Amino acid sequence: MTVPLQTRQGLSSSWLADVDLARIVQAVGTPVFVYSAEQLRRNLDRVQAAAAAAGLQDRVELYIPFFPNSNPHLLATCREAGAGILLQVPAEYKLLRTHGFEKFIVSPGHVSDDEIAFWADTGCPTFLSSLDEISYALQANAPLIGARIDSLNSGKPGVKLDELGRLAQLVADYDRDLDCFEVYCGSGNTCDDMIEVIKTLFSMFKKHFPHVQAVNFAGGHGFSYTEWEEDAKHFNWHTYLGALRQIMEDMKIPDHVRFMFEPARDMLADTGALVLSLKRSIISNPVANIVVTDGSRMLMPSAQLRDRRHNVTFLDGRMQEITADEGQWAAIRGRTILRHDYLLPGEYWVPDGVDAESFMAVFDVGVYCATQHMEFLNVPPAAEVLIDETGEANLVTARGDEFDKWRHLLPAKQPLPLSI
Ligand SMILES: Cc1ncc(COP(=O)(O)O)c(C=O)c1O
């Protein structure tokens, strides 16, 4: 069979082409997540340049979500670029403080009173997701009152649209103003969708919360996993922020109101690639053709869950890309016995020449991949390597060793304390 047109591009359209993969694999083995600080810098610069072009550089604030990647060494680039970090749980705050991060906002989901008190003590703007939680923050006299609004009326945490009048009344009852609100509007939206969302948020501002200091547009800015070229993959911030400027003027949004954004996918997805070893030549049986890798679906669980077709390429034992025109379609298996242990949904085009000495790279794994995986059915988690902006490769997360699954197992049974 001859290579289908849409699979022709490969390594050369990624920063990974300039990385000495042979050295990394020799040093830390596979599977390994490789990240590029330079790519993250480019992604942040793209937004900051678009904000400047729209004359909004002093009003646009970026807060990159920590939970979709969670490696402070990679996210250090955000800190250096002046971007803050969006947090979700207290441990993230404690960890990032030890890494020198200071600029945070918090979107914690639904939480206990104790956790609301924790965040109030930090002074970080916190977006609470129900009237009940906001009521507690008001009673506790939290320094800032923030609300997370679910504009889709979905199952995600957030004050629902029908509750906005009650929210405004609740805050007024305590003689306070809402300081800021964050609006969830789904993920993977087009630029046109997101421009419509701007109008929705500004209408909420005008109708219910005209005294907030900041409007938080959250995430949802689309990123294409199936495109190869950078321009085609990324959200068009230039058009988007230009439209924001226009709508802001048309709707007479006051000059002091700041605009927050929490993009994860568009900032982080193409900063990461996953490199796997192949363990055998393709297995062909009456049911399927199978590529056997040393990965597992738990390295990137949302690919299967969301039916996400990440781009991939295959490399030979010397890390040269295999570009043969002939090949076959095959499923990409992980290394456990589990029936559903396929790394990626569907089948992928595998060129002739791929064999037990080969490697495979999966692109755009900088979000919701290493952050979600763990030792899975006794297979240890992968290493993480960061290529810094000088091109130097550093190990930033050690590979779990073969006994990782049992790292907390006690050598002997330990009686529980008798008095509880
Ligand atoms: C509160 C919040 N902010 C930002 C994001 C990032 O969204 P995206 O990856 O669509 O940019 C998410 C994703 O779930 C989120 O829940």
Residue 130 to residues 108, 150, 184, 314, 316, Cα–Cα distance (Å): 11, 10, 13, 48, 53
Provide residues with CB under 6 Å of ligand 1: 65, 86, 107, 187, 218-221, 262-266
Ligand 1 centroid vs 104 CA: distance in angstroms?
Answer: 15
Q: How far apart are CA 239 and CA 3, in angstroms?
A: 36
Strands 104-106 vs 32-36: parallel, antiparallel or unpaired: unpaired
DSSP 354-416: --TT-EEEEE--TTTTTTT---BTTBPPPEEEEE-TTS-EEEEEPPP-TTGGGTT--SS--PP
Amino acid at 257: V
How confident is residue 6, by pLDDT bands cut at 50, 70 and 90? low
- Determine the 3-state secondary structure of 33 from DSSP: strand
pLDDT at residue number 418: 65
Contact 356, 10 (CB under 8 A): no
Both structure tokens of 301: 């669980």
* Residue to mutate, 187, 215, 306, ligand 1, most ligand atoms under 8 Å from C-beta: 187
| Beta strand spans in 141-179 (E) | 146-150, 159-160
The reported pLDDT for the residue numbered 20 is 97
pLDDT digits 0-9 by tens, 245-302: 999 999 999 999 999 999 999 999 999 999 999 999 999 999 999 999 999 999 998 8
pLDDT digits (tens, 9 = 90+) for 46-98: 999 999 999 999 999 999 999 999 999 999 999 999 999 999 999 999 999 99
Among 183, 265, 178, which Cα is nearest to 217's?
183
> To test the ligand 1 pocket, which listed residue (44, 63, 86, 371) has its Cβ within 8 A of the most ligand atoms?
86
Confidence of residue 372 (pLDDT cuts 50, 70, 90): confident
pLDDT at 8: 58
Q: Where are the alpha helices (DSSP H) in 178-333?
A: 191-207, 230-233, 237-250, 265-268, 301-305
**Side-chain-side CA neighbours of residue 214 (13 Å):** 24
Give the per-residue pLDDT at 153. Answer: 85
How does the average pLDDT of the chain come out, rounded? Answer: 95
Q: Dump pLDDT digits (tens) for 94-128.
A: 999 999 999 999 999 999 999 999 999 999 999 99
Q: Which of 75, 87, 107 to mutate to test the pocket of ligand 1 (most atoms within 8 A of CB)?
A: 107
Tokens of 182: 């964050």
Query: Distance (Å, rounded) from C-alpha 155 to C-alpha 51?
Result: 32
Helix, strand, or coil here: 181?
strand
Q: DSSP assignment of 185-199, as one string?
A: --SSB-HHHHHHHHH
User: Do 393 and 24 meet the contact criterion of CB atoms below 8 Å apart?
Assistant: yes
Taking residues 183-197, report their average pLDDT: 93
Confidence of residue 230 (pLDDT cuts 50, 70, 90): very high
Name the residue with higher pLDDT: 155 or 315: 315
- Would the pLDDT of 1 be above 90? no
Sheet containing strand 342-351, edge to edge, reads 283-284, 289-292, 327-333, 342-351
Q: Which two tokens stand for residue 122?
A: 């930090």
Residue 96 exposure: Cα atoms within 13 Å on the Cβ side: 28
Distance 287 CA to ligand 1 centre (A): 39
pLDDT cut 70: percent of the chain above it: 97
CA of 187 from ligand 1 middle (Å) equals 7
Question: Residue whose CA is closest, atom 12 of ligand 1?
Answer: 219
Burial of 367 per CB tally in 10 Å (0-12, 13-18, 19+): buried
Per the CB < 8 A criterion, the answer to whether 178 and 171 are in contact is yes
Atom of ligand 1 nearest to the CA of 265: 9
What is the length of the chain? Answer: 420
Query: How far is 216 from 255, CA to CA, in rounded Å?
Result: 15
User: How much distance in Å is there from the Cα of 274 to the middle of ligand 1?
Assistant: 22
